[in-house]
Amino acid sequence: MSPCLSQKTLDALLCALCADFDRRRIAIGEGRLSRRVLFEYRYLNDRILGAALSVSGRYDNALTFVREIGARTGYAGSAIEGISEITYKRYKTEIRRRILEELSLVDRDEEPAIPKTKRRKKKF
C-alpha cells in the first residue's frame, strides 16, 4: 500500500470510483467528451469491470458487484442470487482487492487488507 494512503482512504476512493461507474458509462455512450476525458473514463471503467469479471465470471454479476461496492450494499440487500453469504463476501473482498491492484493503488504482491476467513472445524 502506498505510504500516503491509509486503508480508509483507499476504501473511500474505491467506493467513489465504483459509485461513478454508471455515470462514466453513460457519458462514454453520449460521446460529448474531450479525447483525454474519454480515454480516462474508458480506462477506469475497463479496469474496474475487468477486475470484477475476473472474479465473478459473469458480466451481469460483475456489474452488480461494482454497483454494490459503490453503494456499500451488503449481502442482505444484494441483487445477486444463488451464492452463499460466505461466497458473496469472499468475491466482494477479492473484487475490491483486484480493482485496487488494477488501478495501481496497491502492489500485487501485498497481503490483502482483509484476510480470508478461516472455516472452523465442526466439533462433534
Q: Tell me: the pLDDT tens digits for 89-123? A: 999 999 999 999 999 888 877 655 555 555 555 56
Closest Cα partner for 1 from 114, 115, 116, 111?
Answer: 111
Q: pTM for this one? A: 0.79
Whole-number Å distance between alpha carbons of 72 and 18? 10
Burial class of 15 by CB neighbour count within 10 A (0 to 12, 13 to 18, 19+): middle
Q: Is residue 85 part of a domain?
A: yes
Q: Is residue 118 part of a domain?
A: no
Closest Cα partner for 66 from 80, 76, 52, 86?
Answer: 52
| Domain total of the chain | 1
Q: Is residue 19 part of a domain?
A: yes
Q: Is residue 119 part of a domain?
A: no
Q: Is residue 112 part of a domain?
A: no
Expressed as residue numbers, the domain containing 83 is: 7-102
Q: Is residue 72 part of a domain?
A: yes
Residue 46: alpha-carbon gap to chain centroid? 12
